Amino acid sequence: MSSRNGLRLFAIVILFTGLADAQSIPPATAGRIDEMVAQAAHEQQIPAVSVAIALNGQIQYQKAFGKADLENDVAATSETLFRTGSIGKPMTAVAAMRLVEEGKLDLDAPIQKYCPAFPQKAWTITTRELLGHISGMRHYKEGEMDSTHHYAKLTDGFAIFANDPLLFEPRTNYQYSTYGYSVIGCALEGVTGKSYPEVMQDEVFAPAHMTHTRVDDAFEIVPHRARGYSKRNGEISNAGLMDSSYKIPGGGYVCTPGDLAILADALLAGTLLKPDTLKLMWMSQKLRGGKDTGYGMGWGIGQFEGENTVGHAGGQQGTSTSLTVYPQRKVVVAVMINLDVGDATDIDRKISAVLLNDVFGVKPDSKAAAAGR
């Protein structure tokens, strides 16, 4: 046998050994997931549910159920785009951490260094604190989530919140804030000289090969965009109107569960961030007294069935979403639905419990949340 043929045979043996050792979703488990999702959709009256599951860097399950558009009788497919809601936050965090690695963004510099459009406050706040919701920035006031005003620039939306005082001194408390992510988006623009959507395309979507993620522009024709629904008097109705241009970095995208799984897999594979950077992003931040917040930088930190998780959920007009990553298992579960009073996280947990049991032999022993919100 020639040395070339010997090496070729060795490579083939290694390839097939690797495939044999790789975890996969058994057909019976996939069938159970089909039934579970269909049942949840029926019980919650969800028009469309879309699911993607990745194991060891490969999407092994990707299906959509129901209708993306009830009025026009359009079936949902794996190409259907759903509003991400707050899953935009972990996307933005990845872009920020890539710029940190490139030496362009200092997590602990005053935010005005990169975003002078945001006014000085009683205390200095930083990108690290904004990413972890410990800056003192406020969240929505009543009615603000229903904004239908279209803002041409990211910083134009600052008119809603930028002049308000901080709720507390940074690092002394935790307060979830979508507006904090608008300020982070402004900082990314200041660092790069590009618009926020351009930064995301260059730093996250293109290198991760996320081809089904785009800004949820209310005026653009977006192929495969699902219609969003709510309920009135127990009946399905069209969701309320909302233009997310005031909060794109914290919740203004549409995408597929497949793209969410691709993002998580790229992080697990080291394609987007170095291991130390990923560890930092996926580490719970601490308040000044040493208390863990349960939230890293753009990602919730938690446990489910005794397994460590990172992830995020989202909810806004016409959508509910959930993304859970099991780093030690290299498992990713992403669920998106087009009903804002539905519960994508509940479906995520049910799928995760079956996967962990059937594929890894993890027995149910916890009702802990699958990821931070």
Residue 195: which CATH number?
Answer: 3.40.710.10
Q: What is the mean pLDDT of residues 192-205?
A: 98
Which tens digits make up the pLDDT trace of 254-288? 999 999 999 999 999 999 999 999 999 999 999 99
Q: What is the mean pLDDT of residues 162-180?
A: 98
Q: What is the mean pLDDT of residues 233-247?
A: 96
* pLDDT higher than 50, residue 13: no
Residue 5 lies in a domain: no
| Torsion (CA) 172, 306, 257, 152 in degrees, nearest 10 | 0
Separation of alpha carbons 351 and 345, rounded Å: 10
Residue 103 lies in a domain: yes
Residue 240 lies in a domain: yes
* pLDDT higher than 60, residue 17: no
Q: What is the pLDDT of residue 2?
A: 41
Residue 89 lies in a domain: yes
> DSSP string covering 93-105, please?
HHHHHHHHHTTS-
* pLDDT higher than 70, residue 19: no
Q: What is the mean pLDDT of residues 148-159?
A: 96
Closest CA to 369 of 316, 294, 319, 298: 294
Q: What is the pLDDT of residue 364?
A: 81
Which tens digits make up the pLDDT trace of 337-363? 999 999 999 999 999 999 999 999 998
* pLDDT higher than 80, residue 330: yes
Strands 235-238 and 74-75: what pairing?
A: unpaired
Q: What is the pLDDT of residue 14?
A: 31
Q: What is the pLDDT of residue 363?
A: 87
* pLDDT higher than 60, residue 49: yes
Separation of alpha carbons 294 and 18, rounded Å: 36
Domain residues for 110?
Answer: 26-360
Domain count, the chain: 1
Asked if 182 and 246 touch (Cβ cutoff 8 Å), the reply is yes
Residue 120 lies in a domain: yes
Q: What is the mean pLDDT of residues 314-334?
A: 98
Average pLDDT of the chain, as a whole number: 92
Q: Give strand ranges (E) for the chain.
A: 48-55, 58-69, 74-75, 82-83, 214-215, 229-232, 235-238, 253-255, 300-304, 307-316, 319-326, 331-337
Residue 73 lies in a domain: yes
The pTM score is 0.91
Q: What is the pLDDT of residue 168?
A: 98
Q: What is the pLDDT of residue 5?
A: 40
Separation of alpha carbons 271 and 208, rounded Å: 7
Q: What is the mean pLDDT of residues 145-155?
A: 95
Residue 268 lies in a domain: yes
The CA–CA distances, whole Å, from 211 to 204, 228, 263, 271 equal: 11, 22, 11, 16
Q: What is the pLDDT of residue 92?
A: 98
* pLDDT higher than 70, residue 1: no
Percentage above 90 pLDDT, the chain: 91
> 29 is written with which tokens?
């488990």
* pLDDT higher than 90, residue 82: yes
Q: What is the pLDDT of residue 344?
A: 98
Which tens digits make up the pLDDT trace of 51-78? 999 999 999 999 999 999 999 999 999 9
Q: What is the pLDDT of residue 365?
A: 65
Residue 93 lies in a domain: yes
